Amino acid sequence: MSSTWRNVFTYNKYAQITARALRSSLKEEQRAVAEKRGLTALRYQQWENGKGGEQVNLTVEGEKSSG
Amino acid sequence: MSSLRLLTSTARRATTFTQARRGYAEVNDKLKLSLVLPHKAIFNSTEVVQVNIPAESGDMGVLANHVPSIEPLRPGVVEIIESGGPQKYFVSGGFATVHPNNKLTINVVEAAPLEDFSLEAVRSNLQEALKVAAGNGSEAEKTEARIEADVYESLQSALAK
């Protein structure tokens, strides 16, 4: 059972899933602090000729899976 | 008669010689443990007696003078035995490295002492994960739920002890 995930996920993704499972099992107060660590947010915008382009948010997927 | 006595005494000397040279891990020396998360260090070169780790190949105990090795860790309990008494941390997975200079470093993504976990949260998370794993989602969703369920099952048995 242990390594069937290898066909689907990378090790980094696997480590992320186990870490998130651990955080969600903590007691209320520790969990509030810990879950902030689990969230990585990234938003980028390309600038050209002094004008900002469209903002692209890359965190949608992460928010969905952590919620 | 005297030659026989000579023979037995050399045999005895030979055994004491081999016993002194045996290179097993010893309890007398202290192991320097570092248990490190990306955001904090729980132990930093702290001298401990023994560390039990949940390696991918099976649970193992590490004493001082352990042979250098690298072990991937399952989600499970790391037990640290100090002169003061044992401490238990649940770790989410990572690597344990035994260095040649009597050091053990454990790098994991998340870890917390066992008393920080809520058994009710673990139970309800496990139910949820098992439901998703048995459901008809995509392969990725089901595999993810299966990995989570493994973590919760391991946590549940750790907390039940």
For residue B11, is pLDDT > 60? no
Contact residues, chain A, for B140 at CB < 8 Å = 8-9
- H or E segment to which residue B46 belongs: strand B41-48
What's the rounded Cα separation, in Å, for the pair A43 and A51?
17
Confidence of residue A67 (pLDDT cuts 50, 70, 90): very low
Contact pairs from chain A to chain B, CB under 8 Å: 86
The predicted complex's ipTM stands at 0.76
Instruction: Decide which of B25 and B145 is more confident.
Output: B145
CA distance B141 to chain A (A): 10
Which fold is adopted by the domain B31-115?
A: ATP Synthase; domain 1 (2.60.15)
Interface membership of A64 toward B (CB under 8 Å): no
pLDDT of amino acid B7 = 52
Query: Average pLDDT of chain A?
Result: 82
Judge: B125–A25 Cβ closer than 8 Å, yes or no: yes
Instruction: Name which of B114, B113, B143 is nearest B129 in CA terms.
Output: B143
Query: Which residues, at least 6 apart from A22, have a Cβ–Cβ distance to it below 8 Å?
Result: B75, B90, B91, B92, B110, B111, B112, B151, B155
Contact B75 A21 (CB under 8 A): yes
Structural domain spans, chain B: 31-115, 117-160
> Is the predicted pLDDT of residue B6 greater than 70, yes or no?
no
Q: Do B92 and A21 touch (CB under 8 A)?
A: yes
Interchain contact B122–A (C-beta under 8 A): yes
User: Is the pLDDT confidence value at B151 over 70?
Assistant: yes
Residues B151, A8: C-beta atoms closer than 8 Å: no
| pLDDT tens digits along B16-57 | 444 444 556 655 678 999 999 999 999 999 999 999 999 999
Contacts of B75 in chain A (CB under 8 A): 18, 21-22
Percent of chain B with pLDDT over 90: 69
